Amino acid sequence: MRVAKAIELDEKTSSELLTLSRGRRVEARVQQRASVILLAAQGWQNKDIAQEVRLDRRQVALWRQRFIEGGLQALMQDASRAGRTPSVTSEVESHILHTTLQDQPATGSHWSTRTLASHLGLSATTIGRVWRRNGIQPHLMEAFKVSPPPPLCLDGGWIDVVGLYVNPREHVLVLSCAGKGHVQTHNRTQPVVAGAVASDGVRHELTSLLVALKKLEGVVVAECQDRHHHEEWFKFLRLIDRQTPRHLQLHLIVENQATHKRPKVQAWLAQHPRLVVHSTPTNTSWLSTVKRFFREIDHHGIARDRFTSVPELQQAIAQYTERLDKEPRPFIWTVRAADTAQVTRAKAALARWTLSAEQNGALQQEVDVTAVWA
């Protein structure tokens, strides 16, 4: 004859069980289970407990065992159950998804729940449930552009820009330069309320913002122009030349634009050898740190204000840059722990390319990349 396992209760547990068995706001099933454990602790047999609390003997044995394994907490909730058998098996769901994504209906451009249900012999409710579970919305049309894969193109542009960011030489000032064209004055009909911006308003003239960001300090040299052509870029280069120390060599990281390559600009740069221009490769404008500054001035400086004229907008931009220069803070890019392995492989590939280029006599750069990644 099988004998049920004995239960021994300490004073605290016994008091808690007694409270549960008599509590007016305790669920009836929890009261019943607490009574089962109290009687079991007094030495009662399962069949006697079952008769006393009006349960089946197998249920009494079940809750006795659960209390031994999980304690008082095991009495407070039921164990998880398998649930009913799903009406849609994984094979049926896979068939629904494959038909939705791969096949096209004969009478339209995309499936609806009713047309697909009629095609597969299922209910529209089942089709809708499968679509919602997998986040499929065939009635919505999204536009996308497949960009060319960004391989590790270790050409001169990459080497220059990455080397300047990671390990610039001494007596060198690194400036990230770019222009933000078509900054528009927008006189909104309503002021900003709790972060909400009125969508209607009067749009006025445009201005272009040219910015040079000192990489290590976060100091900004900014100027507003009516447009962003090579004449304005030429004026901005002369402004940078005037406002930077003469004893430092300037390395300018700029975007790969035709404005920066006009003959007049190139001739002036040839006469001023202390300014060295490094163009970011195609599709890698993210290498220009000044893009981060444009986001800051747009989000915190001008996006939510109301401007009635271009001079008013230019004054707001000037005030924002003045406040920033009083307490400059450099923008620092960090690597997530999950990307550490990828960065390590990239460094190894860069080092191999550098060594190969040096051996072939093809590496003629301002930056010693081998020392950068060492």
Distance between CA atoms of residues 270 and 285, nearest Å:
25
Dump pLDDT digits (tens) for 207-261: 777 777 776 677 777 777 777 677 877 788 888 888 888 888 888 878 767 777 7
Banded model confidence at residue 373, pLDDT cuts 50, 70, 90: very low
Q: Identify the architecture of domain 156-332 in CATH.
A: 2-Layer Sandwich (3.30)
Dump pLDDT digits (tens) for 105-141: 887 788 999 999 999 999 999 999 999 999 988 888 7
φ, ψ (nearest 5 deg) of residue 178: -165, 165
Banded model confidence at residue 365, pLDDT cuts 50, 70, 90: very low
Distance between CA atoms of residues 224 and 209, nearest Å:
5
Task: Tell me: pLDDT of 370 over 60.
Answer: no
* Per-residue pLDDT, 292: 73
Which residue, among 140, 144, 143, 136, has the nearest Cα to 99 in the 3D structure?
Answer: 136
Per the model's pLDDT, the better-predicted residue between 341 and 80 turns out to be: 80
The CA–CA distances, whole Å, from 54 to 36, 38, 141, 279 equal 10, 15, 61, 85
Which residues lie below 8 Å from residue 44, measured CB to CB, with a gap of 6+?
52
Q: Measured between alpha carbons, how far apart are the two ends of the chain, in Å?
A: 76
* Per-residue pLDDT, 117: 92
Tokens read off for 221: 């040299």
Share of the chain above pLDDT 70, in %: 69
Domain ranges of the chain: 11-75, 90-133, 156-332, 334-374
* Per-residue pLDDT, 372: 35
* Per-residue pLDDT, 237: 83
- Measured from the Cβ of residue 96, the count of other Cβ atoms closer than 10 Å reads 23
Contact predicate 347/371, CB 8 Å? no
